[in-house]
Amino acid sequence: MLLVNGANQTNVDISDRGLQYGDGLFETIAIRNNFPLFFQEHLQRLTEGCSRLKIPTPDLQVLSSEAQQLCQHKNEAVLKIIITRGSGGRGYKQPETLSPTRILSLHPFPVFPKNYPLHGIHARFCQTPLGINPALAGIKHLNRLEQVMARAEWQDDGIQEGLMQDVNGNLIEGTMSNLFWVKNGQLFTPALINTGVAGIIRKLVIMLSSQHGMSVQEQNLTQTQLLAADEIFVCNSIIGIWPVIRLADHDFAIGSKTRQIQTWLDELAHETYQTSQ
Amino acid sequence: MLLVNGANQTNVDISDRGLQYGDGLFETIAIRNNFPLFFQEHLQRLTEGCSRLKIPTPDLQVLSSEAQQLCQHKNEAVLKIIITRGSGGRGYKQPETLSPTRILSLHPFPVFPKNYPLHGIHARFCQTPLGINPALAGIKHLNRLEQVMARAEWQDDGIQEGLMQDVNGNLIEGTMSNLFWVKNGQLFTPALINTGVAGIIRKLVIMLSSQHGMSVQEQNLTQTQLLAADEIFVCNSIIGIWPVIRLADHDFAIGSKTRQIQTWLDELAHETYQTSQ
């Protein structure tokens, strides 16, 4: 199911700057019980991203209405929203009047062979580095070749995520997820000042932990330092929170802090459903 | 005029990874007298880019034939070739069998208000930095948000190009061109090891200069150092060589080395036509 600027169509014009230059951004949203989860948070990030990229923010009421239209009667699904700068301009120069393209698409919720939130996953370190550019850091933009190249590094289905470092050797995030770790009772996550995607679940984990008196420190760290962590987990809007139980031949326990944060996030998701109904 | 995988169509499927992730690359080629200029060099770069991105290289004979089909009876035009990884896969993970998308489009040759190769241009320094990532440096890939953001920094039609530095303050290239400068008789161009697009005209300028005993040094430099240059020029496949006569309130003469290289490049272009006919 697809809506392009409100119309049922399955394609975009070749001249769209999303295709020509990756000139746009996207959101990936979990649908549960006909409801786009944490939708307001996704709309807020989308708005902030449009502002930073100087793309006019789409009408959020229209966007919400279209999302509802696609989500009805969907128990579990994934909603992807792409906003591009639209067509036109001369080369990189954008046209004076922008007509952004708005693409909503619905996808089956991925089926995983195990209950990864419960049992944890195996992860690896990727070779492909994340480039450094504060001007784009944090934005979920359409320039994702680094993630594509990193994800192409392994075919082993026993490994569910790869962790990426920036060109200076700081671990930043997974190919599709944000990274947290616990050391001596303190919860950490990498700073995303120079690169990385500021994930919605990352933001909620920081908020929930803070609300419960468990502060999160944003900190750079190396692969060696991560291997000395007590707990590790990765998170995104579709997978929720996946504990990492094996990374580069090191085993990790699923710790109490990870379990606590999973519980808080589940509770928040259920509250959000109920408020919406 | 458009050909998508050989068919006359004006659009691509939403699921194409070129749109979803900027997962692909492109070439922009000048057409003169029905002939795609320096076509072999463009095909070679396209092949190298596909190899680095692990996208199967399209059949070059098919590509050449399609290019000829679009270029016939075109005295002056611009041919753009986009190759994407195609559709499919799960998120960033690519499908096991790739079916790349091949897009050829023809555009009017840009009309400039003055003869810039003859009279030179005004340039500026851009604020938007180029990210650093050796894994993607040199490739003319579809992740071009940095160039879009840099080009959006000015509206003044009196300025024809903006020069970009990397996040470490090294000047690298223009938003759409490569950069050369002359100091004390020596020709320089920035190294493109960490970022930048390895342009076809850049490569030819280096080759031609070397053939004529004028070596080119690849070197990092700052804005201040560039402002102390004796000659500056930018180049790409469409504009050829544009001398820079004004940059950040500094005036520059169009020097003898710039004129010499313009002559060599013109001669090479004419030889190329004749060989092809």
Cα gap B179→B173, rounded to integer Å: 5
CATH of the domain at B69: 3.30.470.10
CB A238 within 8 A of CB A36: no
Q: What is the DSSP letter of A128?
A: S
Residues of A in contact with B136 (CB under 8 A): 131, 145-146, 149
**pLDDT score recorded for residue A276:** 67
Q: Is B173 on the interface with A (CB under 8 A)?
A: no
- Interface size A-B, in CB pairs within 8 Å, comes to 167
| Angle value at C-alpha A64, between A61 and A66, nearest 5 degrees | 110
**A interface mutation test: which of B8, B12, B20, B194 has the most A CBs within 10 A?**
B20
The answer to whether residue A256 scores a pLDDT higher than 80 is: yes
B28 is catalytic: yes
Q: Are residues A173 and A209 in the same domain?
A: yes
Among the candidates A108, A140, A160, a domain finishes at: A108
Task: Calculate Rg over the CA atoms of chain B.
Answer: 19
CATH of the domain at A139: 3.20.10.10
Q: Are residues B272 and B176 in the same domain?
A: yes
Among the candidates A55, A84, A108, a domain finishes at: A108
Q: Are residues B51 and B67 in the same domain?
A: yes
Q: Are residues B127 and B160 in the same domain?
A: yes
The answer to whether residue A43 scores a pLDDT higher than 70 is: yes
Q: For residue A97, give both structure tokens.
A: 């009047």
Q: Are residues B243 and B146 in the same domain?
A: yes
Q: Are residues A127 and A264 in the same domain?
A: yes
Q: Is B132 on the interface with A (CB under 8 A)?
A: yes
Query: Of B27, B74, B84, B140, which is the active-site residue?
Result: B140
Q: Are residues A76 and A137 in the same domain?
A: no
Q: How far is CA B73 from CA A64, B28, B36, B99, in A?
A: 49, 19, 12, 31
Asked whether the beta carbons of residue A17 and residue B148 sit closer than 8 angstroms, the reply is yes
Closest Cβ opposite residue B54 in set A20, A93, A152: A152
**A191-205 confidence digits (pLDDT tens):** 999 999 999 999 999
- In this structure, the number of other CB atoms found within 10 A of the CB of residue A198 comes to 16
Q: What is the dihedral of CA A259, A260, A262, A267, to 10 degrees?
A: 140
Burial call B217-240: b when 16+ CB within 10 Å, e when fewer = eeebbeeeebbebbbbbbbbbbbb
Q: Which residue in chain A is spatially nearest to B195 when comparing CA positions? A: A131
Q: Are residues A37 and A169 in the same domain?
A: no
Residues of A in contact with B12 (CB under 8 A): 11-12, 14, 19
Q: Are residues B78 and B122 in the same domain?
A: no
pTM of the model: 0.97
Asked whether the beta carbons of residue A2 and residue B14 sit closer than 8 angstroms, the reply is yes
**B102-133 confidence digits (pLDDT tens):** 999 999 999 998 899 999 999 999 999 999 99
Which residue range is the domain that position B165 belongs to?
116-276
Residues of B in contact with A195 (CB under 8 A): 131
Q: How many domains does chain B have?
A: 2
Closest Cβ opposite residue A167 in set B12, B19, B132: B132
**A52-90 confidence digits (pLDDT tens):** 999 999 999 999 999 999 999 899 999 999 999 999 988
Q: Are residues A75 and A169 in the same domain?
A: no
Q: Are residues B232 and B140 in the same domain?
A: yes
CB B162 within 8 A of CB B124: yes
* Residue at A21: amino acid letter: Y
- In this structure, the number of other CB atoms found within 10 A of the CB of residue B257 comes to 19
Q: Which distant-in-sequence residues (6+ apart) come within 8 Å of A59 by Cβ?
A: none
Q: Are residues B43 and B82 in the same domain?
A: yes
Burial class from Cβ neighbours inside 10 Å (0-12, 13-18, 19+) for residue B88 reads middle
Residues of A in contact with B16 (CB under 8 A): 19
Among the candidates A108, A134, A159, a domain finishes at: A108
